[in-house]
């Protein structure tokens, strides 16, 4: 146990530890987008917040943000599809610009989905930069969709808004995000305990299972720290300070990388999305041509059947796709 004479100093150290851990906690109400991404909100804010980057220090945190991005984009795309359908029901024939934007959002959504498993994130820094870039690009595309609606169909806004609002979230994202948050918090505490030279798998598992709330976690960590002797406590303090410095360097590096060559990366990804959309269009065109060939072959069979009928005075059922009957 720590000596009473050092209680005040060590209490401050304990609180520093608790603060360093709790600042990294992900909350159950964490979201990627705020109201500025609404299809009908006039806001154009696309800033990356401190909330966005504070959990990007370990793979579980990066995967959490990608999962939240996937969730938001899935709902946005579904609402966008409903808006397009409503426009068509109102007699709007050309919705190609809207569909192009939704196709791009779908590509970004699928890319985000590929990073929702922490095992797929070997480099936290690069993945974190990608998340920030994709979020910015998503917000920009959503704003473009919104502005297009306002510019071309201002008189239909309320009806379109009602159509979009009628779409509810599908899938099991709530459960998946909750489990990812618990996994992130469990790993943060595990790292903090390692900094103290302590192995407490029971506590880590309780956090991962959602058994403990945030204040209970903080108290358990505080009690663990205060159970250390003076030498162990000072060593833990040094490791904690090093960890905090490492996280600050990492977040600073991410922010700097995001700013550098951002436009180049954005243009490269835009070109990739264009190529994917062109592949999709080409595949669709190929399917249409194949279907057209089948239709034409069917017509040819009917013509042949009619010729046989004229020559022989009866119809050949096989030459008429099985629908022939004697006349």
Per-residue pLDDT tens over the stretch 81-121: 999 999 999 888 889 999 999 999 999 999 999 999 999 99
Residue 285 and residue 191 share a domain: no
Whole-number Å distance between alpha carbons of 67 and 113: 6
Structural domain range at position 102: 19-219+239-268
* pLDDT of 38: 52
The Cα angle at residue 120 between residues 116 and 124, in degrees rounded to 5: 90
CA distances to 302, 305, 309 from 314, in Å: 13, 9, 4
Q: What's the token pair of residue 157?
A: 């806004």
* pLDDT of 179: 92
Whole-number Å distance between alpha carbons of 237 and 270: 46
Whole-number Å distance between alpha carbons of 102 and 124: 28
Residue 152 and residue 102 share a domain: yes
* pLDDT of 198: 84
Residue 135 and residue 32 share a domain: yes
Q: What's the token pair of residue 282?
A: 């080409």
* pLDDT of 43: 41
* pLDDT of 37: 46
Residue 290 and residue 255 share a domain: no
* pLDDT of 87: 92
SS3 114: coil
The Cα angle at residue 119 between residues 254 and 53, in degrees rounded to 5: 25
Residue 27 and residue 40 share a domain: yes
* pLDDT of 39: 52
CB 136 within 8 A of CB 46: yes
> Per the domain annotation, does 227 fall within a domain?
no
* pLDDT of 257: 75
Residue 253 and residue 273 share a domain: no
Total tally of structural domains belonging to the chain = 2
Q: What is the pTM of this model?
A: 0.74
> Per the domain annotation, does 326 fall within a domain?
no
* pLDDT of 317: 37
* pLDDT of 82: 93
CB 43 within 8 A of CB 150: no
Q: What's the pLDDT tens digit per position in 129-147? A: 899 889 989 999 999 999 9
Positions of the chain with pLDDT lower than 70, given as ranges = 1-52, 261, 299-327
């Amino acid at each position: 146990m720590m000596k009473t004479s050092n209680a005040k100093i060590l209490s401050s150290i304990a609180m520093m530890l608790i603060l360093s851990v709790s600042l990294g906690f992900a909350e159950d109400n964490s979201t990627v987008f705020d109201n500025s991404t609404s299809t009908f909100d006039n806001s154009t804010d696309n800033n990356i917040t401190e909330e966005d980057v504070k959990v990007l220090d370990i793979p579980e945190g990066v995967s959490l943000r990608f999962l939240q991005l996937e969730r938001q984009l899935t709902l946005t795309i579904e609402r966008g599809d409903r808006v397009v359908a409503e426009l068509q029901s109102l007699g709007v024939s050309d919705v190609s610009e809207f569909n192009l934007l939704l196709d791009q959002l779908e590509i970004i959504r699928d890319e985000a989905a590929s990073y929702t498993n922490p095992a797929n994130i070997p480099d936290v820094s690069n993945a974190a930069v990608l998340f920030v870039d994709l979020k910015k690009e998503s917000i920009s595309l959503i704003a473009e969709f919104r502005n297009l609606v306002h510019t071309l169909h201002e008189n239909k806004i309320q009806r379109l808004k009602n159509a979009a609002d009628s779409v509810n979230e599908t899938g099991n994202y709530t459960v998946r995000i909750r489990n990812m948050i618990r996994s992130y918090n469990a790993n943060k505490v595990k790292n903090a305990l390692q900094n103290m030279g302590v192995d407490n798998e029971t506590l880590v598992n309780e956090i991962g299972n959602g058994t403990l709330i945030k204040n209970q976690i903080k108290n358990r960590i505080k009690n663990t720290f205060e159970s250390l002797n003076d030498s162990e406590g000072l060593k833990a303090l040094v490791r904690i300070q090093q960890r905090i410095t490492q996280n600050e360097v990492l977040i600073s590096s991410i922010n700097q990388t995001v700013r550098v060559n951002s436009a180049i990366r954005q243009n490269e990804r835009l070109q990739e999305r264009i190529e994917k959309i062109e592949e999709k269009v080409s595949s669709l065109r190929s399917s249409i041509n194949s279907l057209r060939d089948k239709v034409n072959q069917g017509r040819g069979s009917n013509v042949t059947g009619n010729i046989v009928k004229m020559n022989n005075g009866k119809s050949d059922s096989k030459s008429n796709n099985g629908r022939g009957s004697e006349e």
